[in-house]
Amino acid sequence: MKILIYKNIDVLAEAFCENLIELVSGSEQFNIALSGGNTPNVIFQTLSDKYSRKINWNKINLFWGDERCVLPEDKESNYGSARKYLIDNVDIPEKNIFRIKGEDNPDEEAERYSQILIRNLPDVNGLPKFDLTILGIGEDGHTASIFPDQMHLLSSKRICEVAVHPSTKQKRITLTGKTINNSENIFFLVSGKTKARVVSKVIKMTGNYLNYPSYYIKPSNDAVTWFLDEIAASELKN
Ligand code: 6PG
């Protein structure tokens, strides 16, 4: 595990882009699972504005680690956000974009997307393998759409599952813990004061960290990198 701390989200975003460019440069094809929520939007905008010409987008295949069960045009859509802040601003071929269809029947889409991953990703350990999975963390310790009241999604034998947001009851499609942990690289991108407590508990293994799904993101190669801004890392130091 690596912990990288940056002054603010903008510097963090540039560091992420530099790391991504380095990872992509060594690959013929690069399969990346994007996270959702708000944090990635700054990252995507930085990638679009400052680094888009430094990446051969023909090599990049975009997937998602989770998606809300909404229309792609919905402001809640992770695909919709990636489209707005990244995809529409770079020369990535449409054929390289593998969105989760949040508008379709959740159970059917979880199965369809699992098949998409099987068909388009290398099979390692009997699971599709991403070159990079980007993750965020919720204040409740969730990651992707694996929430503390649905810990079974961490050990599910399926590639994707249907999850339910604990308070909004919104349905989600999510990669399971096993699929996430099969990734070659995992980057947590975390910014802001509200995440300082949960980041500290998960990384330092204190308090009720065993209740946090993020704690169980432990690929066998230990290739987890936490990209934190100083305020999100502020409880790590003491
Ligand atoms: C989602 C995510 C989720 C997100 C965290 C952090 O679909 O919401 O994948 O796991 O990464 O909730 O979200 P923020 O970046 O908005 O804090």
Burial of 82: CB neighbours in 10 Å, binned 0-12, 13-18, 19+: buried
- Assess whether the C-beta atom of 206 lies below 6 angstroms from ligand 1: no
- Assess whether the C-beta atom of 192 lies below 6 angstroms from ligand 1: no
- Assess whether the C-beta atom of 166 lies below 6 angstroms from ligand 1: no
Please, which residues have CB within 8 angstroms of residue 131's CB and are 6 or more apart in sequence? 23, 27, 30, 31, 32, 183, 184, 185
Q: How does pLDDT run along the chain (238 residues), one tens digit per residue?
A: 999 999 999 999 999 999 999 999 989 999 999 999 999 999 999 999 999 999 999 999 999 999 999 999 999 999 999 999 999 999 999 999 999 999 999 999 999 999 999 999 999 999 999 999 999 999 999 999 999 999 999 999 999 999 999 999 999 999 999 999 999 999 999 999 999 999 999 999 999 999 999 999 999 999 999 999 999 999 997 6
- Assess whether the C-beta atom of 138 lies below 6 angstroms from ligand 1: yes
Atom of ligand 1 nearest to the CA of 145: 10
Atom of ligand 1 nearest to the CA of 194: 17
pTM of the predicted model as reported, rounded to 2 decimal places: 0.98
What is the three-class DSSP state of 56?
coil
Asked whether the beta carbons of 230 and 5 are under 8 A apart, the reply is yes
What is the three-class DSSP state of 61?
strand
- pLDDT of amino acid 26: 86
- Assess whether the C-beta atom of 36 lies below 6 angstroms from ligand 1: yes
Please report where in the chains the tokens 């388009």 appear, as a residue: 120
CA dist list (Å): 197 to 149, 156, 190, 238 = 19, 28, 12, 12
By most ligand atoms within 8 Å of CB, the mutation choice from 16, 34, 38, 39 for ligand 1 is 39
Number of residues assigned to the chain: 238
Using alpha carbons, select from 159, 129, 128, 163 the residue that is nearest to residue 144: 163
Strand order in the sheet with 171-175: 66-68, 171-175, 160-164
- As a whole number of angstroms, the distance between CA 139 and CA 196 comes to 9
Helix extents (H) in 77-148: 78-85, 106-120
Asked whether the beta carbons of 147 and 39 are under 8 A apart, the reply is no
Q: Which H or E run includes 202?
A: helix 196-204
- Assess whether the C-beta atom of 106 lies below 6 angstroms from ligand 1: no
189 alpha carbon – ligand 1 mean position (Å): 10
- Assess whether the C-beta atom of 194 lies below 6 angstroms from ligand 1: no
126 alpha carbon – ligand 1 mean position (Å): 27
